[in-house]
Amino acid sequence: MSAAVAGERARAPERSGRVAGKVAVVTGAAMGMGRATAELLAREGAAVTLTDIDTTEGAAAARAIRDAGGRAAFRPLDVSDEAAVARVWAEVVAEHGRIDILVNCAGVIGPDKPTHEVTEAEWDALFAIDVKGVLWGTKHAVPYMIEQGGGSIVNFSSIYGLRGNDEFSAYHVAKGAVTMQTRQDAATYGRHGIRVNSVHPSTVLTPLVEGIAAEFPGGIAAYEEVNTTHQSLRRLGRPEEVAYGVLYLASDEASWVTGVALPIDGGYTAR
């Protein structure tokens, strides 16, 4: 980890109640950007339900939020299972009476292959989580949000949902689908007071990336240098920086913002 990133982590701001009183659900919340988002929403006053297939890390994340004074619970969930999504959302509403914020973060990267080498099984496995997971999450949150008079949905796409390159072809297409679903749902549900936006990170120092970077020749600093050559800001992001973008879009500060694809990418898409 670079000294700059380590220093920024040490300067976390105090809570200010930006989503106080709201009920939030975050998928893929066991670690990385999903966990950072859940932690920040709880710190800013929301009652947060964390979901993930990783029950150990997910439960630990919720427990850490509670230990810090926040309100959080963990529910195991495979977002590719529509019936399971519907059940968990119903359980959240039964407990809290509403869902104000849905963050569709759960996702996988899939095979690093060009289109002509991707198998049907690989394609289907990736789309089941990255695309259907957003579909089912939104589908089963929207009726509650319509009934309660509004809500905010934030979908995790990627810089690769905005532009192509020569790697991870299926992932690019999946994230492009998330980008378009975001716009379509924003156009459809705005009349009900439901806002739908997406965030588009570049490479972020999640635990997974930190593990890969630690094994890179020259370590994390060398990995960071190689992987930021196309960015204006020559360092990797950190989960908290993406979480603050989600917080803004989820909060009432963004009450007139919908259908936005927000890059949080160190200037990658600016070049």
Distance CA 181, CA 177 (A): 6
Give the Å distances, CA to CA, from 123 to 86, 178, 239, 261.
24, 15, 27, 24
Tell me which residues are annotated as active site.
Answer: 171
The answer to whether the beta carbons of residues 61 and 232 sit under 8 Å apart is no
Radius of gyration of the chain (CA): 18
Give the torsion sign (CA, 111, 115, 118, 123): positive
The answer to whether the beta carbons of residues 37 and 245 sit under 8 Å apart is no
The answer to whether the beta carbons of residues 182 and 196 sit under 8 Å apart is yes
